[in-house]
Amino acid sequence: ISRTWFLSIIQNEFRNGKIDLDSTMRLLEKLQMPFDFAHVKHVFKKTLDKQKAHTITMEDFRAIYRNIVHRPEFHELFRAYSPNSKILADTELIEFLRREQYETEACETTALEIILKYEPIEEVRKRRQMSFEGFIRYMSSEDCSVFKRDHRTVYQDMNHPLCDYFISSSHNTYLISDQLIGPSHLWGYTSALLKGCRCLEIDCWDGSNNEPVVYHGHTLTSKIQFRSVIQVIDKYAFVASDYPVVLSLENHCSPKQQEVMAEYLESILGDKLLTSTIGDTVVTQLPSPEALKFKILVKNKKVGTIEESMLRRDLDSHGQTGEVSDFEIPSDEDEFDEKAPLCSKRDSSKRKSEYRPSHTPRKKAKVKKIKIAIALSDLVIYTKSEKFVSFEHSLANQKCYENNSIGEVRARKFIKNSAKDFISHTSRFITRIYPKGTRTNSSNYNPQDFWNVGCQMVALNFQTPGVPMELQDGKFQDNGGCGYILKPEFLRNCNSTFTPQNVGIYSKPMSLSIRLISGHQLPPSNLSKTNKADPVVQIELYGVPEDQAKKKSSVIKSNALSPRWDETFSFTVQVPELALIRFCVEDEVSLVSNEFLGQYTLPLLSLNKG
């Protein structure tokens, strides 16, 4: 049956006897299996080497198809459940689902759904059976993805206060390259939003013709108009997720241009912009992502309280400004203030107080006054930026709608020296972490360290590929990729005694066993003229310090098409709720260096059994 079906699909293409490489690719696509061009091309050429021609026959094509699609590891599995090695009856498929895929609830209906969805041969489908062709298609499908199906949609409780969630956050969103001379571009905002990012950063400066501009101040990065940025955000804010977007304004504009910003925010975003509290004017706890669906929030310094700005709502605040005190707290950090100048400017003397790299000797805190346009200040509702002084100060004075930004170096010291206070703080207040100013090449820190202590907005340079962004993408694949992930209970509870270094009673040990079977159509090595590589797989765990682990497979020599390992790796994980697992495939170039071929990262608790 299988052969008849196969010939019925392909014979039309062979009316003229033979086909070339392009027709071969088209025909493989028609057979609805994923193919990699480099591998098909290599197998195609290998077939031709014997014949010294440019085209292949129907039998050659069948051999190529079987070589690439009929993987031996699938055959072994199929044969274990199919008595005649040709067909799986629905009862045998149910047995397979229960024993291999841990689908304990699997029944006749489940099997039938799979057969109807994946069995390509009509005759077999009608008999409620599955051929090897159907089995391959099922095994290669999303339904057999290692990522849990029900985690691909929003499944967590979205009615907790905002501070109870990890929030996908970007740093200097407008940059698409380095931090000094590279371009600023609207694409930075589009691509971050399409990835589900929910907290964007906008650095605003006075521009000509009373038009505020966005760029990395005191550097040579190019400028884009604030108005254009807000138009792009308006267009893409809710394409990937319905949940609220926070605009973190790094505001360096004069009150006059701040009014222009407020005007653009209101006129362009319209009803999407949150301009008043939801329900009660007296805010005792933050609203939930659910209550703020399809809303855009402004995060900026604010004059006075929410209650005061609500009383002013219908009055004309044009031309009015207020003052906010900002503490300059000298610290021995080796990081600049987030927006310290990275190249000297003539007017640096004027700006000393505002942009002082914070590694001067300890002095008393300096207070400086910042002027803020009331029109902009009143748009800040639940996300008021407050300078972080200390955990004690926050506990005594900070309101639930006030949040802090802390640089990575200072935050890392807190993790080391006062983790419990840090966690107590993040259980109450939204905390944003940002990269140190010396990362001029837009490199990133490891976000896991800050998630471990409950920091909600761990801001990364989205434009920079590498392990930190892979962890970010992996973590936020969870909960339907909506950009909000409910923190574990021990990071939401104000009385928690959890710390990453000492998990204590919060440990829920889980044993994890990973069987690495095979790879298929891996990217060939850059050094290979054909489709070869020497693949090696690294399985890595990220989480609290005692859960960090790495294990490595053996190297399979010169095989990127279908390397086979059959190796098992075991791990014990103390805090599965915070753990991510990363599978990284590399090409062993020499004993000391490997070339990256690909990776996949996901939360440990989103890992499918089977």
Instruction: List the chain domain ranges.
Output: 3-69, 72-144, 162-310+320-326+366-491, 507-606
Torsion of CA 259, 262, 267, 272, to 10 degrees: -170
Task: Note the pLDDT of residue 50.
Answer: 72
442 CB-side CA count, 13 A: 24
- Positions annotated as catalytic residues are 171, 216
Whether domain 72-144 has CATH 1.10.238.10:
yes
Structure tokens at 84: 């005649």
Reported as a pLDDT band with limits 50, 70 and 90, residue 363 is: low
The closest of 571, 595, 566, 594 to 582, measured between CA atoms, is 571
Give the pLDDT score at 328: 64
The structure tokens 């080391």 sit at: 416
Degrees (nearest 5) of the Cα angle 108, 109, 111? 65
Does residue 348 register a pLDDT over 80? no
Does the pLDDT value for residue 362 go beyond 90? no
pLDDT (0 to 100) of residue 123:
95
Is residue 222 within 8 Å of residue 215, measured between CB atoms?
A: yes
Instruction: Write down the pLDDT at residue 542.
Output: 98
Q: Is the pLDDT of residue 329 over 90?
A: no
pLDDT at residue 588 in the model: 93
CA distance 261 to 270: 13
Residue 204 scores a pLDDT above 70: yes
Distance CA 59, CA 67 (A): 12
DSSP H or E run through 308? helix 306-311
Question: How far apart are the C-alpha atoms of 390 and 417, rounded to whole Å?
Answer: 13
Cα–Cα dist 349/337, whole Å: 16
The model's pLDDT over 551-591, given as tens digits with 9 standing for 90+, comes to 999 999 999 999 999 999 999 999 999 999 999 999 998 88
Measuring CA to CA, which residue among 457, 461, 94, 476 is closest to residue 299?
A: 457
Helix or strand run (H / E) with residue 43: helix 37-49
Q: Residues of the chain with pLDDT > 70: what percent? A: 94
Q: Provide the pLDDT for residue 92.
A: 97
Which H or E run includes 567?
strand 564-573
Q: Do residues 186 and 507 touch, judged by C-beta distance below 8 A? A: no
Average pLDDT for residues 394-419, to the nearest whole number?
97
pTM here is: 0.92
- The topology (CATH level 3) of 3-69 is Recoverin; domain 1 (1.10.238)
Assigned CATH topology for domain 162-310+320-326+366-491: TIM Barrel (3.20.20)
Token pair of 264, please?
């653009």
Q: Which residues contact 459 (CB under 8 A, 6 or more apart)?
A: 169, 170, 171, 199, 201, 248, 432, 433, 434, 435
Q: What's the pLDDT tens digit per position in 307-326?
A: 888 888 778 888 899 999 87
Instruction: Read off the pLDDT of each residue in 141-155 and give the average, rounded to a whole number.
Output: 96
Whole-Å CA distances, 182 to 176, 307, 438, 505: 7, 42, 15, 48
Average pLDDT over residues 380-391: 96
The pLDDT > 90 percentage for the chain reads 80
pLDDT digits (tens, 9 = 90+) for 429-460: 999 999 999 999 999 999 999 999 999 999 99
What's the pLDDT score for residue 438?
A: 93
* Interval 31-84: pLDDT, tens: 988 889 989 999 998 888 877 788 999 999 999 999 999 999 999 999 999 999
Q: How far, in Å, CA of 413 to CA of 2, rounded?
A: 64
Q: What is the mean pLDDT of the chain?
A: 91
The reply to whether 3-69 and 72-144 are identical in fold is yes
**Alpha carbon distance 198, 53 (integer Å):** 55
Q: Which range among 138-142, 178-182, 288-292 shows the weakest confidence by mean pLDDT?
A: 178-182
pLDDT category at 343 given cuts 50, 70, 90 is very low
| b/e sequence 85-105, b meaning 16+ C-beta within 10 Å | eebbbbebbbbbbeeeeeeee
User: Domain 507-606 sits in which CATH superfamily?
Assistant: C2 domain (2.60.40.150)
